[in-house]
Amino acid sequence: MENVLRPVAETPDMGITLADGCRLSARVWMPADAATDPVPAIMEFLPYRKRDGTAARDALTHPWMAARGYACIRVDMRGNGDSEGLMEDEYSPQELSDAVEVIHWLAAQPWCTGTVGMMGISWGGFNALQVAALDPAPLKAIVTLCSTVDRYADDIHYKGGCLLNENLGWGATMWAYSSRPPDPALRPDWRDMWLQRLEAEPFLPALWLRHQRRDAYWRHGSVCEDFGAITAATLAVGGWGDSYKNAVPVLVGNLSAPVKGIVGPWVHKYPHFAVPEPRIGFLQEALRWWDRWLKGIANGAEDDPAYRQYLMDGVRPATWYADRPGRWLAGDGAPGPMRRLHLGQGALGDAPEPLQSLIASPQHCGLVGGEFCAIWLGPEQPGDQRADDALSARFDTAPLDRDTAITGAPRVTLTLTADRPQAQIAVRLCHVHPDGASTRITWGVLNLSHRDSHADPAPLVPGQPVTVTLDLDHIAYRVPAGHRLRLAVSSSYWPMLWPAPESAALMLSEGHLDLPVHPAPDGPGWDFPAPDAAPALQVEVLRPEHHERAVTTDLTTGLVSLRILDDFGKRRDLGHGLVSGGVAREWWDIHPDDPLSARGRTHWTMEVERDGIVTRTETHAEMWSDARQFHLTARLEAWEGQGAAARLVHARDLHETIDRDHA
């Protein structure tokens, strides 16, 4: 009988030796009797360290699935955690080749039935799609969460051809993450492995910045290049509070393999413990998927609605939500019928009107935009948009005569004339409450040099009108009757985007918004099972977690600064005793009148301790620009020992200058 709970055996350090001799380390949960009653394997393949980095979420997820008849294999990628080798880049050919080799290795094990699934969120969701596109024979199904189909246009690097500051922010995160040593309890040669990593660790922000166009570097791993390459059954999951929300409807609309999509109100977390609520029984949904496609159980998973999305009720703006009221919709994923609204002089209405609107935002417009990728559970969501609205061209509807449900990707078309060859626009669709409070519904940006092509950008001709079209991010959001919609257009969006080299003035002479409007939902919605999970990881908290965001203005210089502090705390794993902790700090500075004053700076501290062995890494990164070039510096320090007895065991400084390419 399927899915009767089976006792689970855990292996903390299963070695998988690749063809080139590199030993990868995997943490494995499987039924204790799998040697005599084999099971399918489910792999999660990450650089984020199974021993401490993902241990809390792994404890909730993998033992639960193993008890229901699966071998769950959490692999540390080459050069990370407890695995040997050196890391080159994200989604490198080496990474994908390693993953394919591990899949074949798993399928050949005596405790495996020969069928394999791959799952993961973020990095693990990305590489699950990319490995599926390589089509290894044993890989029959994947579950991909918070991922993308286009590495250039829908990741942390470039959006609408604009350089995202997350390119530096997340690159600096990886500079810190990959600087940590293996667990000395598992690797007797941990110090040698650590020093080799420190010497070879790539500074990824500079690598990514060398590819400002959508070139072959970005086409590699972008599964939108050939959706037909994916034959594995694909369950795609996302969250409206996350940056990676567009992949789900795109996959549902383009894969020929079996595919289903789910998008809830969540930030960048697994849906069985995500916020804001409501959470869902994600593990039950995943189990149903695995049972159908890895075990061949006829449970009707293929007959579920193609696309289940959570229609959020419009709420007041806040930088943090514990829950979002709304309801689940189930359908085929097609957008609602489009309603066209025309931009007039400050108005957004059904009929075209004459329009002459100047867009010339100060450089600090965007400070209430929140984090690009909300993940740390601090005050990361976009706040009240009135401050940014005041620095933008604004177009408001009359009060709505009925509730309006927006489901899909709004499309904006604008005719603009610029006074500079390089400029950018940010477009926000907002929900304006009767008292004037403004909630960001969705947004999009465009580097106007990329108006025709991300691969072959071209400068604007000052004084010559151009018509551009951009899609805002997918969303499902209901605006109440009596409230208004606002389209806000700005020429800067800091600190989300790196600014153009000159302040541009844009004259907007025509425009319209195509709004996907869902018919009024009626009848029962979709019901998911309640969340379930294995017991939580047991830890001793040595320093509590703490998060801060603050914006300041220097009244002498006029410099505007965003300061971010994410102290992730420090804890001891009570199962195996490893101590880990970390603190991230970011500073984003700009003068409202000077795009060349923009500067981003990060400093991370990472701590790993075990049985009297105390290690700490300090990583720094900084970026600024002039009119022609980007400038980056980085420093990595590795320390061993505690307090005054600590000694510097490695230090490295990097300096990079990279030409601006229509950026």
Residue 192: inside a domain: no
Same domain, 124 and 224: yes
Pair 391, 470 in one domain: yes
- 583-638 pLDDT tens trace: 999 999 999 999 999 999 999 999 999 999 999 999 999 999 999 999 999 999 99
Average pLDDT over residues 492-518: 97
How would residue 378 be classed by pLDDT, with cut points 50, 70 and 90? confident
Task: State pLDDT tens for residues 544-586.
Answer: 999 999 999 999 999 999 999 999 999 999 999 999 999 999 9
Residues 6+ apart with CB under 8 A from 189: none
Residues 6+ apart with CB under 8 A from 390: none
Looking up residue 356, the CATH number of its domain turns out to be: 2.60.120.260
Length of the chain: 663
- % of the chain residues with pLDDT over 90: 96
CA distance 280 to 34: 29
Binned at pLDDT 50, 70 and 90, residue 31 comes out as very high
**What local confidence, expressed as pLDDT, does residue 524 receive?**
66
Same domain? For 421 and 453 the reply is yes
pLDDT single digits (tens) 383-434: 999 999 999 999 999 999 999 999 999 999 999 999 999 999 999 999 999 9
**Other CB atoms closer than 10 Å to residue 611's CB: what's the count?**
10
The reply to whether 224 and 363 lie within a common domain is no
pLDDT value of residue 1: 37
Residue 497 and residue 353 share a domain: yes
Residue 208 lies in a domain: no
Angle 156-160-161 (CA atoms, 0-180°, nearest 5)? 80
Specify if 469 maps to a domain.
Answer: yes
Greater confidence (365 vs 353) lies with: 365
- DSSP assignment of 263-279: EES--SS-TTT-SSBPP
Domain edge (last residue) among 284, 315, 331: 331
- Omega into 188 within 30° of 0, i.e. cis? no
C-alpha radius of gyration, the chain, whole number? 25
Give the pLDDT of residue 535.
97
Amino acid in the structure at residue 488: A
**Per the domain annotation, does 478 fall within a domain?**
yes
Distance CA 121, CA 663 (A): 30
Q: Is residue 171 part of a domain?
A: no
Question: Would you say residue 527 lies in a domain?
Answer: no
Place of tokens 């050919």: 93
**What's the domain range around 568?**
539-659
Residues 251, 400 within the same domain: no
Structure-token pair, residue 500: 């153009």
* Residue range 106-157, pLDDT digits in tens: 999 999 999 999 999 999 999 999 999 999 999 999 999 999 999 999 999 9
Phi then psi for 572, rounded to 5 degrees? -110, 130
List, in order, residues 6 or more apart from 298 with CB less than 8 Å away.
292
Using CB atoms within 10 Å of the CB of residue 663, give its burial: 0 to 12 exposed, 13 to 18 middle, 19+ buried.
Answer: buried
Which of 518, 547, 569 terminates a domain? The answer is 518
**What CATH number does the domain containing 286 carry?**
3.40.50.1820
Q: Taking 70 as the threshold, does the pLDDT of residue 3 lie above it? A: no
**What Å distances lie between residue 50 and 29, 46, 246, CA to CA?**
13, 8, 28
Instruction: Tally helices (H) and strands (E) across the chain.
Output: 10, 32
Indicate if 384 and 456 belong to the same structural domain. Answer: yes
Q: Domain check: are 564 and 514 in the same one?
A: no
Q: Using CA atoms, how far apart are residues 192 and 202, in angstroms rounded to an integer?
A: 18
Q: Is residue 162 situated within a structural domain? A: no
pTM equals: 0.97
Q: Among residues 331, 350, 366, which one ends one of the domains? A: 331
Among 228, 244, 44, 272, residue whose Cα is nearest residue 143:
44
Banded model confidence at residue 336, pLDDT cuts 50, 70, 90: confident
- Confidence (pLDDT) at 355: 95
Element (H, E) at 216: helix 216-219
Asked whether residue 464 is assigned to any structural domain, the reply reads: yes
Are 327 and 342 found together in one domain?
no
Q: Nearest Cα to 500, choosing from 387, 594, 587?
A: 594
Q: What are phi and psi of 574, to 5 degrees?
A: -75, -10
CA-wise closest residue to 272 among 226, 225, 237: 237
Residues 488 and 560 in one domain: no
Beta bridge partner(s), residue 309: 263, 329
Q: Are residues 464 and 597 in the same domain?
A: no
The reported pLDDT for the residue numbered 519 is 84
The average confidence (pLDDT) of the chain is 96
Confidence of residue 330 (pLDDT cuts 50, 70, 90): very high
Q: Is the pLDDT of residue 523 over 80?
A: no
Domain count, the chain: 3
User: Are 571 and 485 found together in one domain?
Assistant: no
